[in-house]
Chain A
Amino acid sequence: MRTAIRFLRKGKMVELDQFEPTTTLLDYLRLEERAMGTKEGCGEGDCGACTIALGRLRNGRLVYEPVNSCILLLGQIDGCELVTVEDLAGPDGLHPVQQALVELHGSQCGFCTPGFVMSLFTLYHSRRPGLTRQDVTTWIAGNLCRCTGYRLIVDAALEACRKDLNDIFYLRAAETTARLEALHDTRDVFIGTNDKFFCAPESFQSLLEIYAEHPDATLVSGATDVGLWITKHLKELPKVIYLGRVNGLSTCYNDEKGIRLGAAASYALAESYLKTIDPDLENALTRIGSRQVRASGTIGGNIANGSPIGDMPPMLIALGAEIELQSIRGRRTLPLESFFIDYGKQEIAENEVLTSIHIPHLARQDHFRAYKITKRFDQDISAVMAAFCISLKDGRVQRARLAFGGMAGIPKRASTAEKALLGVSLDDPLSWQAALNAMETDFTPLSDMRASGTYRRDVARGLLKKALIEISENTSVNTRVQGQREQLAGGAHAC
C-alpha cells in the first residue's frame, strides 16, 4: 500500500500524501502551487483554457496528452509527468509553439492562450508527418477562443509543429521515460481514512475488494463526467476509487472473435482499435468530446454512466457489442442493449464493475453507418446519434440494427423500422418508405436545448434515408457536408 501520489514536475518528483479526494488538478495548481498560468474558463472541460499536458508511458513510449485540469482529480496524475504553460520556455527562450503564436499574432485577450499553448505542445510532440490544417483544427477543437477567429493560431501551429522536435522535453525524453518507469509500481494507493479517501488500486482483486467494502464509493475513470458533479453540482464525494491504475482494466486487443476494450481504456487508447472497424466510427471518434476529453474519458465510463445521449452506446449496440461485469461474487456478460433498462436505471448490481466491452467483427455483408447530429460539428453533445448496421444479401436487407441516442430515455433500437426494412431492395427507394415512416412509431423524443422532438424525429428519418442512399450508391460524397467516408478511407486522420 502506498499512501501518497507521486508525479514528475519540472524535472523533480513530487509526493503528496494529504489532499481532499475531490481536489481538482486546476485547484491544486492555482490554489496550492499558486501557479497562475493555467486558467479556469468554464469548470466543465468544454473550453480548454485549463489544458495542461500529462506525460505518460504508452507501450513504453513517452506520450504527451492534453487534458482539462478543471475536471481532472489531482489523484489521477499519479505516475505522470505534469507539464503546465510555465514549464515550456527553455534556456534559449520561448518554446517553438509559443514563439510561433507570438510571431503570427495568435493571441488577443490571451486568456485562452495557455490552453492553446499546451494543446499545441502535445501536437508538437505527436510527430505527425504531413500535418494538415484539418489535423490542427481537429486537434484544437477542444480549445475555445472568442477573439482571434482561430486562423492565426492554426498558422502558428503549422509553423511550429512541422519543424523537427527540439525542446527540453524531447532532449530529456530518455531520462523522463526512465523516471516514469521508476514511478510505476504495483502497490495500491490509498490516501485518507475509511470515511474519506482517494484510492487508486493497482490490482484487480483489490478493486473488487475495496468496492465490496465501500459500495457507496464513487468509481472514477476519466472524471470527465464525475468532475462536473464536483465543480458544478457541488456534490460531496467522500470516497473515490480511481480505476486508471488497475492492472488489465485498460487493456485492449483485437483477435479472431472481435475487439476487446478494457473498460478503463481512454478514447485515445481505444481509438486505434475502433477505427479499424469502419471509417464512420473513426469519424465519430474525432467528434466525441475533444482531444482533452478523449485523453481522459473512457469507453467504459460512457456506458456505465447510463446517459441517454452518450455517443458510444448506439454505435456499440448497432455493432452487437457485449459487456462484461464483475464483482467479488463473480463475472457475467450481457448484450450492451440490455444494460440500459430505463432512464437512470441500468442492469448493474451493487459492487459490480464494468470491466470490458467486446465488439464482434463486421461481416462482409454488413454495412455500418454512423451519424452524429449537433449544432456545432466538433465537441458538441449529440441531439441525435444514429448508428446502423445493415446486412445485405443480393441487394436486399437481410438484417438491420438501427440504434439511436437522444431519441428516448436510453440508447434504443428502432425495432419497427428494423422489421420494416427486412427484404427491402436498395435499388428501390420507394420500398424504403415503410421503414422511414416507422420512425414515427418507434420514437417520441423530447424537446430540449439541443433540439425539438420534431427535429429529432425528422432527422432520424433523414439519417436512415441518407444511410440507404449511401449504401446503395456506395459513396458519401454527395450526401455529407463534411466527414465523408472517402476522406477517412485514405487514412488522413491516422493517429
Chain B
Amino acid sequence: MPADILEKSEQPVVKTQAIGKTSKHDSAIKHVSGTATYIDDIAEPHGTLHVAPGYTKTAVCGRIISVNLEAVRAAPGVIAVLEAKDIPGTNDCSPSLGDDPVLTDDQIAFHGQLIFLVVAQTRQQARKAAILAQIEVAAEKPLITVQDALSASQTVLPDYEFRRGSPETVIKNAAIKVDFKSNLGGQEHFYLEGQTALAIRGEDDNMLIYSSTQHPSEVQHTVAKVLGLDEAAVTVEVRRMGGGFGGKESQANQWAALAALAAHVTGHPCKCRLDRDDDMILTGKRHDFEIQMQAGCDASGKVQGVKIDLNARCGHSADLSLGINDRAMFHADNSYFYPDVCISSKRLKTNTVSNTAFRGFGGPQGMFAAERLMDAISITLGKDPLDIRKANFYRSGANTTPYGQSVEEHTLLAKLVNQLEDTAGYRNRRKEIDTFNAKNSVLKKGIALTPVKFGISFTLTHLNQAGALVHLYRDGSVHLNHGGTEMGQGLYQKTAQIAATEMGVSLPKVKITATNTSKVPNTSPTAASSGTDLNGMAVATACCEIVGRLKTFAAKYFDVREEEIDLSNDQLLIAGNPRVSIRELAQLAYENRVHLSSAGFYKTPKITWDRENIKGRPFHYFAYGASCSEVIIDTLTGEMKVERVDILHDAGNSLNPALDIGQIEGGFVQGMGWLTTEELWFDEAGRLRTHAPSTYKIPTATDVPEIFNVSLYESSGNPEETIYRSKAVGEPPLMLPISVFCAITDAVASLRKGVVPELDAPATPEAILRAVKYIKQDRED
C-alpha cells in the first residue's frame, strides 16, 4: 500500500485537498480559549493525592549517612513517605543502561538526586513536607566541569572516533594552520508545561498513567519495571504536551514512576507535577561541550585536514548520551568536505544531572564546531567567511562524509545558499558594515551566512518504525490514532491531513485522538524530527488498507471496476461521478461485513548503520537550510542586538507551510537563545543556580529581530520516498542561528584583523565583553 502513496508523490508537487495547504493547528481554537487539556487540567478523580519529590538541597556528591523523615511524616496532610525500599520492582528509570535509580538509598551522584517522595492531600502540603527531611551526607569532592572529568578520566560510555586518512600529517604540512578551543554551554528545555504525571490504579493492580511524555512506550516500560508489572498491565496516554523539545523523551519516566509508585502504595489516584525550580534542577539538559580543533588548509582556505575533539559533559549517568554524542560527530562536518579527518568523542561523567535529548540531539554542538572552524580559517586568512564556507562545501567528487555516507543533494545546498546570499543582499551589507565599523568606535556590527545540513533518521536504526490505528465508523467519521505525540509541532494536524487525503474525506471527519499505548504498542519516541515521516506513513498505510477494502466492496456492490472508483470530498466517485456519501458507503460496507479498522506500520527503507565498523547509511536523507544574521555589539558593555535575520529552509514538499514556518521560526529563536542569553551557571559547590526563569533567560518577543524574513525553499520534493516527498522540519532550524553567533564573532573580529576572537557560547554580554577585552589586549582602551 505504501507504493500506492508513493506513486502519487511522483508528481512534483502534491496538492490534494488537505496536503500542501496551510491549515491551522488542530487545537488552535482550544489553545486560545483555554480549553486544551494538559495533564494537570484533567478533572482529578475523587481522592486524588499529590506527590512531591524529596532531595537534599545542599549535597552534591557523597554517601548518605542518615535519612530522618520523621518531620516529613508528621507534617499536615501527609499520607505516605516512600523510599527506595518501597519499590516493589526494579529501582531504575533509565532509558537504557539501568544507571538511573528512581530513588537512591546509598550514594548521591548529583545535586537533586531523589531520596524519597511525599504523598499528601494537597500539592502544597506535599511540597512543604518534603523540605523538612534531615539528610546527612558524607560529602565527596564532586566532578563538575568537563575539565574535572577529563582530569579524572571519568566517562559514562566508551570513547568513539571517525577517522579517514592521516589528518595529523596533513595538518602538520599544511600552508595554513588553525588551532583553537571553544566552550559551548548547555541548554534548559524550558517547556512551558513542566513535568507532570497522573497515575490511577485500576483492578488487578493495573495502572493507567496520564503523562506529559514524548515517549509513552518508555513510560509504560518504566512503570511496569518499577512496579514489577507486565507491560500489558500498564497503559499510558498523552493527548498533548505543553512543549517537549527532547526534555520529555527520557526525562518523563521518573515522575510517572513516582506517581505510579504512590498510587500503587496508597490505592489512590496520585499526581506528580514538578515545581518549576525542581523541574530545572532535577531534569537533564542539552550537553555542554568543550571542543578542541586543529585544521590545516591551503592558501585559498580549502580544508585539507581536520582534527576535532568533542568532549561532552554527560552528567552522572548515560541516559541518551550515546546517540547524542554520535550525532554530534555526525554533524561536525556540517556541509563541509574534510579530506583527511579525525572526529573523536569523549562522553564524560560528572556529578551533575544527567544530560539528555534536546532538539538537535548533539547535532547542534557538532555543527557549531564546523562553523567555528570556517570562521577561524576566514579570519586567519582575512577572507570573507562566506567564501571560505562555499569553497569547502560538499561537491562532486568530494561528497563523502567522515562516516562514509554520500551527500547526494550537495547541489541543492549550493543553490539554496546562493539564493539566500542574493535575497539577503549579503555582499552589499558586508560593505555597509565595513563602513559602519570604520566610523564607530563604541558599536560594531557583524554579519554571517551559515548553512545547515541535518541527517534525518534515528541513528539507532531499530527506532525507525511506527504504527497507526485507523477506524472508519458507520457515520463516515474516521478515528485516527498513531504512536507519535503532539507537543505543539502540529504532528496531529499533519497526520489528520494525511488521513483525510488518503480516506478521501474532509478534515473535520477525521477525529484526532490521544496517543495511547493500548492502541498502538511498542512505539518510538517522538523525536529525531521523525514524527511525521514515520507516523504519517503508518497512517497512510492504515488508511490505504481500509480504502482498498472499501473499493473492493464497492466494485462488487455497484458492479464496476475498482479502477473506476475514487474516494474524494466525502463521496464515493464512480468514473468521476459522485455515487454515495462516505456515510452511506460506511453503513453499506458495515452491513456487508467489511472490516473498517486497520493498523498501519512503517519502517524507514534504505538505512543501515554498523556502528562498530563505521559503515553504512545512517540517514535516510538530509534536510537543508541557511540563514543570514546581522548583529550589533557594544564594546563597552558587551550588549548585543540581532538586527536582521533572513532564512531559507528546505522542507521538501511541505505538508503544511504554516506549521513548517512555525517550526523554523520557533527553532531559530530557541537556538538563538542557546547561543546568546541562556546560561546554565553552577556555583562552586556544583549546584545549578539558574533554575528558574528569573535567572535563566530564554528569548522574549523583543529579542526577535524586527526584520525576520523566513521562506521555504522552492523544492522539487524530497528525492527519497517520504510521505508526499516532504522533509522533516522539527530539529534542523534550531541550528540556523549559528549565524547569529558567527555574526557576533565577525563583529568582535572587526576590532583587530587576523585574530580569531575567543568567544564562548552562550555569547552573553559578559562573554562578548571578555572576547572584546582579549582581542584589544595590548591596545589602548
Residues of A within 8 A of B245 (CB): 146
B interface, how many residues as a size bin?
35 or more
**A394, CB-defined interface residue at 8 Å:** no
A151 to B699, CA, bound (A): 12
Contact for A234 among B131, B659, B679, CB less than 8 A: B131
**Are A449 and B637 in contact, with the CB atoms below 8 A?**
no
Whether A103 touches B24, Cβ cut-off 8 Å, given contacts A39-B38, A146-B698, A375-B765, is yes
Residues of B within 8 A of A88 (CB): 33
A107 to B124, CA, bound (A): 30
**Are B28 and A101 in contact, with the CB atoms below 8 A?**
yes
Contact for B694 among A44, A103, A452, CB less than 8 A: A44
Residues of A within 8 A of B633 (CB): 481
The interface-forming segment of A6-14, A54-62, A129-137, A180-188 is A129-137
A458 to B25, CA, bound (A): 48
**A345, CB-defined interface residue at 8 Å:** no
Residues of A within 8 A of B704 (CB): 137, 149-151, 154
**Are B33 and A85 in contact, with the CB atoms below 8 A?**
yes
The interface-forming segment of B284-292, B343-351, B660-668 is B660-668
> Using an 8 Å CB-CB cutoff, how does the interface string of A41-65 with B read, 1 for contact, 0 for none?
1111011010000000000000000
**B382, CB-defined interface residue at 8 Å:** no
Contact for B665 among A30, A89, A151, A234, CB less than 8 A: A151
Chain B binding surface, main DSSP class: loop
Residues of A within 8 A of B41 (CB): 36
B676 → chain A closest CB, angstroms = 8
**Are B443 and A94 in contact, with the CB atoms below 8 A?**
no
B760 → chain A closest CB, angstroms = 12
B734 → chain A closest CB, angstroms = 11
Contact for A466 among B442, B710, B769, CB less than 8 A: B442
Whether A150 touches B34, Cβ cut-off 8 Å, given contacts A41-B192, A133-B706, A373-B639, is no
**A304, CB-defined interface residue at 8 Å:** no
> Across the two chains, which residue of chain B brings its CB closest to A100?
B32
Whether A84 touches B34, Cβ cut-off 8 Å, given contacts A102-B29, A149-B665, is yes
A432 to B694, CA, bound (A): 36
**Are A458 and B773 in contact, with the CB atoms below 8 A?**
yes
Interface centre among B443, B665, B666, B700 (most CB of A within 10 A): B700
> Across the two chains, which residue of chain A brings its CB closest to B688?
A449
A interface, how many residues as a size bin?
35 or more
**Are A452 and B443 in contact, with the CB atoms below 8 A?**
no
A168 → chain B closest CB, angstroms = 15
> Using an 8 Å CB-CB cutoff, how does the interface string of B159-177 with A read, 1 for contact, 0 for none?
0000000000000000000
**Are B31 and A373 in contact, with the CB atoms below 8 A?**
no
**A152, CB-defined interface residue at 8 Å:** yes
A309 → chain B closest CB, angstroms = 11
Contact for A42 among B693, B764, B765, CB less than 8 A: B693
Query: Within residues 655 to 690 of chain B, which ones have a CB less than 8 A from any CB in chain A?
Result: 658-659, 661-662, 665-670, 677, 679, 681, 683, 689-690
Residues of A within 8 A of B703 (CB): 376-378
A386 to B16, CA, bound (A): 60
Chain A binding surface, main DSSP class: loop
Whether A481 touches B668, Cβ cut-off 8 Å, given contacts A150-B701, A234-B128, is no
**Are A144 and B700 in contact, with the CB atoms below 8 A?**
yes
A383 to B28, CA, bound (A): 38
A73 → chain B closest CB, angstroms = 14
Residues of B within 8 A of A128 (CB): none
A140 to B261, CA, bound (A): 41
Query: Within residues 440 to 495 of chain A, which ones have a CB less than 8 A from any CB in chain B?
Result: 448-452, 455, 458-459, 462-463, 465-466, 469, 478-482
**Are A450 and B662 in contact, with the CB atoms below 8 A?**
no
A234 to B76, CA, bound (A): 14
Apart from A110-B488, A375-B764: 20 A-B pairs, beta carbons within 8 A: A37-B34, A47-B693, A86-B34, A86-B35, A107-B27, A107-B31, A107-B32, A110-B27, A133-B706, A145-B701, A146-B189, A146-B666, A148-B669, A151-B710, A152-B662, A378-B700, A449-B695, A455-B769, A462-B636, A462-B637
Q: Which 4 A-B pairs have the closest CB atoms?
A: A37-B34, A111-B242, A109-B488, A110-B31
Chain A residues in the interface with B (C-beta under 8 A)? 27, 30, 34-44, 46-47, 49, 84-86, 88-89, 94, 97-98, 101-103, 105-114, 117, 133-134, 136-138, 140-154, 232, 234, 371, 373-381, 383, 448-452, 455, 458-459, 462-463, 465-466, 469, 478-482
A sample of 23 inter-chain contacts (CB < 8 A) reads A36-B41, A39-B192, A42-B692, A44-B693, A46-B692, A101-B28, A102-B28, A107-B27, A107-B32, A110-B488, A134-B702, A140-B700, A143-B700, A144-B698, A145-B701, A146-B670, A149-B667, A377-B641, A455-B766, A462-B637, A466-B637, A478-B442, A481-B633
